[in-house]
Amino acid sequence: MPVFDFNHTPDKKQECVCTYTVLRSNETTATPERPMVVLDNSRRAWKHHSCGVFANQARQTAFEFKEKDGTFPADILQVDARFISLLKWLGENHISVRLSGQNREDGYAVYKIREVAFGGGTKLSAEDGFLQFMIDRLLASSAPADELEEEEQEVGGDNMKLTSLQSISDFMNCAGRTLPDNIRLWARRNLAVARSHEVTPEERRHAQRALSIMMNIQWKNNYFESIDPQEARRILDEELYGMERVKQRIIETIIQINRTHTLPAYGMLLVGPAGTGKSQIAYAVARILKLPWTTLDMSSINDSEQLTGSSRIYTNAKSGIIMEAFSMAGESNLVFIINELDKASSGKGSSNPADVLLTLLDNLGFTDNYIECMIPTGGVYPIATANDKSQISAPLMSRFAVIDIPDYTPEEKKIIFSNYSLPKVLRRMGLAEQECVVPPDAVDAVIEKYSNTTGIRDLEQAAEHMAANALYQIEVNHVPSVTFDAGMVRRLLG
């Protein structure tokens, strides 16, 4: 939205004249070539670092440079559309800033704005962190269709948290366009409640707390950049041995994302015996997608309110685990790892807490009872694990692409023990390979010992037991190395 001059004479009101042109950019970093603002330097070349204030743009679209020999205004010639509201806010509050820029033929190109010295009185922005927080958010958002656009990135913004009503209000004024429409409307309503003296202090406290939670989440769109399938395959091979069918299914998902630039309609449900690496697969997928991840242990949840939060009518009301996961991740796009989906138990009432996940899995939006606002879930990729899929309700099963994880064969377990489990334990204990030697007959004894157990956790524990015994003999008995045979393994492992 252009900002106009409202200078007028006592006799008649002047026509509104736009004093600058609007630039549109989706660049995530401002540079002298792609600046935030371009100021007039036809009368004077400005220093690389220059201090001053933006004029109140209701009266003048200019920046007032504070030089040693006086104050000199310079007209704003061009503005990145994403910065218009921010510059207006800086001007209206007369906040002192330091510009970093470069003199070009077409003007002084500003690519960095920092708050200096004394800011807007009691405003939180006096520490500069709030300004950088808004700049970070604007840069991370998409360019608006008509008016504002994105903003510049600066150190310190990610550590900033919006907690006070003043900072939340300022954020809404300057960067409210970065929020989804329904959340922006919700925020304005809750801001009115938090400021109202016609409601109870408890209601105001809950409104402010809910605002703080929502404003500190970066609400991203559901567009996903392409992922390198070869790099994805490298990560899978590094994390998992065998499981070719599982790896193939994950690579197919990656190819689908690359074509559509959106997440698949269905998440993954990994079903298999304990210890077969289901959670490890989930972590590998999160690493491939380059998304933050959060875990939800369904075996410890016996009340659906733990997931959905409690109503604000209660004094000790709070948001649910799902909303807390978004808050901890700091953004709306994340991998949601749901462990032990088959072990969710009914507590209060007859409903299964796991059924609360249905709206989250449908990607239509999730509503927390405390927040009282629909949360967009188009950027959430759910990965669930379970040992027995017969214990999962049919509606939940229909929301997942089910992938069966088979147990390892004895031959696979031998390779995993020799090439993965034992070397990993030796590195952790600081032992060289020649100090703890486990020949094939000893490996066979280990596999035979745990032939009736599923997964590889027992193998990893056996490797740790053997390495610890070798380390004991080296340190206490002063032997140069230990070589295990089948008899020693059987005696050691019982």
pLDDT in tens, 77-111: 999 888 888 888 888 888 888 999 999 999 999 99
To the nearest 10 degrees (0 to 180), the angle between helices 278-289 and 229-239 is 150
Query: Strand, helix or coil at 305?
Result: helix
On whether the 229-404 domain is CATH 3.40.50.300, my answer is yes
So what's the pLDDT on residue 233?
92
Q: How far apart are CA 441 and CA 123, in angstroms?
A: 72
Average pLDDT for 129-147: 73
So what's the pLDDT on residue 345?
63
So what's the pLDDT on residue 30?
84
Q: How far apart are CA 154 and CA 61, in angstroms?
A: 24
Beta bridge partners of 112: 100
To the nearest 10 degrees (0 to 180), the angle between helices 165-175 and 181-195 is 150
Q: How far apart are CA 420 and CA 493, in angstroms?
A: 19
Identity (one letter) of the amino acid at 279? S
CB atoms under 10 Å from CB of 127, counted, come to 13
Asked if pLDDT for residue 358 goes beyond 70, the answer is: yes
For the record, the structure tokens of 289 come out as 């997608």
For the chain, the domains span 21-154, 229-404, 410-493
**Contact assessment for residue 99 and residue 87, using Cβ atoms and an 8 Å cutoff:** no
pLDDT in tens, 465-485: 999 999 999 999 899 999 998
Q: How far apart are CA 344 and CA 392, in angstroms?
A: 9
Task: For the chain, give the mean pLDDT.
Answer: 83
Query: Which residue from 80, 87, 69 is spatially nearest to 28, judged by alpha carbons?
Result: 80
Beta bridge partners of 294: 336
Pairing of strands 374-375, 366-367: antiparallel
Asked if pLDDT for residue 41 goes beyond 50, the answer is: yes
Average pLDDT for 309-314: 89
So what's the pLDDT on residue 191?
92
* pLDDT top residue among 355 and 221: 221
> Angle at Cα 45 formed by Cα 44 and Cα 48, nearest 5°?
145
Asked if pLDDT for residue 409 goes beyond 90, the answer is: no
Q: Which CATH class is domain 410-493?
A: mainly alpha
Q: How far apart are CA 100 and CA 142, in angstroms?
A: 24
Phi–psi pair at 67, nearest 5 degrees: -100, 170
So what's the pLDDT on residue 161?
65
Asked if pLDDT for residue 315 goes beyond 80, the answer is: yes
> Angle at Cα 448 formed by Cα 446 and Cα 454, nearest 5°?
90
Average pLDDT for 307-332: 89
Query: Strand, helix or coil at 184?
Result: helix
Q: How far apart are CA 116 and CA 99, in angstroms?
A: 10
Q: How far apart are CA 404 and CA 256, in angstroms?
A: 20
For the record, the structure tokens of 31 come out as 């540079």
Query: Which residue from 304, 310, 243, 256 is spatially nearest to 455, judged by alpha carbons?
Result: 243
Asked if pLDDT for residue 24 goes beyond 90, the answer is: no
Do 229-404 and 410-493 show the same overall fold? no
Asked if pLDDT for residue 119 goes beyond 50, the answer is: no
So what's the pLDDT on residue 120?
40
CB atoms under 10 Å from CB of 271, counted, come to 23
Pairing of strands 70-80, 267-271: unpaired
**Residue for token pair 């269905």:** 266
Identity (one letter) of the amino acid at 421? S
Identity (one letter) of the amino acid at 329? A
Query: Strand, helix or coil at 381?
Result: strand
Asked if pLDDT for residue 10 goes beyond 80, the answer is: no
So what's the pLDDT on residue 359?
79
Distance of CA 425 to the CA centre of its chain: 32
Q: Is the Cα torsion angle 24, 27, 28, 30 positive or negative in sign?
A: negative
For the record, the structure tokens of 180 come out as 């989804």
> Which H helix or E strand runs over 467?
helix 457-476
- pTM (predicted TM-score): 0.66
Q: How far apart are CA 131 and CA 110, in angstroms?
A: 16
Average pLDDT for 266-282: 87
Asked if pLDDT for residue 148 goes beyond 60, the answer is: no
So what's the pLDDT on residue 109?
93
Share of the chain above pLDDT 90, in %: 27
Beta bridge partners of 367: 374
Identity (one letter) of the amino acid at 44? R
So what's the pLDDT on residue 351?
59
